[in-house]
Amino acid sequence: MGTNTRRHEGRYRMGKRNEDGRTPLYIDGSKDPVDFIWSTGHGGRPWTTENTPDFHDRKWKAAERVVDMVDARRAAVERRPVPAAVPEGYRQASWEEIALSGIRRVMVPEETAYVDPAHDGTPDGGPRFVTRWSDPVRLVDVTWLSRVAHHRAEYGDFMNVNMITAGGFRSTHWPEGDHAIALGALVPVDTPLLTVSPSFCAECGADSALYAAGQRVACGPCTARRLGWEIESLPHPHFESPKALYAPGTLVEMRVPRGDGGTDIHTGTVKEWHVRLDGTSTKPIGYEAANVRVSFDVSRYGADNCRASELRKIDALAPKSTEDATMTTISSTASRPDMIRLRFLGSTL
């Protein structure tokens, strides 16, 4: 591909040829060379540049082609979306913070773009930025899942975030890839904090989970009324608050008491974590708020559902022994299987 007219004459200048035979090309008064023109020394189209794939029969045509490419890149940058501003009264938070704090009132990324346009269309190709945030939604549950090893390297992890929109409709947000997950969501800066333990509300006297909002501490209904929020939008009053949620790929161990007074130590790799955020302090729902699925060294059937509080992060997996090979699942080896495997019963964990 080439050009037959000097459309850009006056915009470019050729410098003195270097010792290696390459001529620096300056465009629009640039101080540094934008490209270098050189000749193959043979054929009817010997002239080309370092950054364009075309060959030309005249040196000036190679320069004209470089100017065309510079203009095309500038136009592409001008068409690129710009990062969406964070609305006043909101801040960005990670999904780990949101899940651990039980935050339910958020704004999720609706549209994103890659920082480097060259990665467009590439799965998990690089860092992203948000070009549009959603309206405020209420989270129902958050799940972070991993892919099999040979897909994870290219596609990264993914998440499933179920939520209720302002119109009352159920919707799902799907962050695909590690860079999309890293964007997190926006949370109100005045989000109340759940206090350490339930007590009596100073405003209404109710014995309930209390929230600290500014200088005031009150129960859920009183706090929601003062903020003008629905009570379901307050942070979830975790009935068994997780202290940590380990990202997929994290190595963990679990210590299981045996009937003879000893302890079995099992190590494994986290495959996913799941936090359920429906229910309030006035309408509790009886299930474990957080569940972590771990592939243990003795697991033959995928992964076991574990309480986050029973896990501890480690640096390396324990070496497999011949005893491990005879075990079927962690549940069958423990005297307290309820500590290891959380049974699903319908919609209840």
* CA angle in degrees (0–180, nearest 5) for 93-97-99: 115
Q: Which residues contact 147 (CB under 8 A, 6 or more apart)?
A: 155, 156, 157, 158
264 touches 256 (CB < 8 A): yes
* DSSP conformation letters of 108-165: -EEEEEESSGGGTTSTT-S-EEEEEEPPPEEEEEEEEE---HHHHHHH--EEEEEEE-
In 10 A of CB 133, how many CB atoms? 20
277 touches 140 (CB < 8 A): yes
What span, in angstroms and rounded, lies between the C-alpha atoms of 272 and 250?
A: 10
Burial class (CB in 10 A: 0-12, 13-18, 19+), 5: exposed
341 touches 330 (CB < 8 A): yes
Burial class (CB in 10 A: 0-12, 13-18, 19+), 178: middle
What span, in angstroms and rounded, lies between the C-alpha atoms of 34 and 52?
A: 11
Residue-level pLDDT, tens digit, the chain, 349 residues? 456 788 898 999 999 999 999 999 999 999 999 999 999 988 899 999 998 888 999 999 999 999 998 988 888 777 778 899 999 999 999 999 998 888 999 999 999 988 887 788 788 889 999 999 999 999 999 999 998 877 888 889 999 999 999 888 999 999 999 999 999 999 999 999 888 667 788 889 888 778 988 888 998 899 999 999 988 899 987 755 566 788 898 999 998 888 888 888 889 999 999 888 887 655 655 556 778 889 887 665 567 888 888 889 999 887 765 444 333 344 433 433 333 333 222 222 2
Q: Cα-flanking dihedrals φ and ψ of residue 279, to 5°? A: 100, 155
**pLDDT score of 322:** 45
114 touches 127 (CB < 8 A): yes
280 touches 231 (CB < 8 A): yes
User: Would the pTM of this model clear 0.85, i.e. be above it?
Assistant: no
What span, in angstroms and rounded, lies between the C-alpha atoms of 204 and 210?
A: 11
Burial class (CB in 10 A: 0-12, 13-18, 19+), 312: middle
63 touches 12 (CB < 8 A): yes
Query: Which tokens is 189 given?
Result: 């800066």
What span, in angstroms and rounded, lies between the C-alpha atoms of 211 and 238?
A: 12
What span, in angstroms and rounded, lies between the C-alpha atoms of 151 and 83?
A: 29
What span, in angstroms and rounded, lies between the C-alpha atoms of 157 and 173?
A: 14
What span, in angstroms and rounded, lies between the C-alpha atoms of 99 and 52?
A: 49
Question: Hey, is 346 helix, strand or coil?
Answer: coil
First to last CA, the chain: 64
Nearest one of 212, 186, 276 to 239, comparing CA atoms: 276
226 touches 192 (CB < 8 A): no
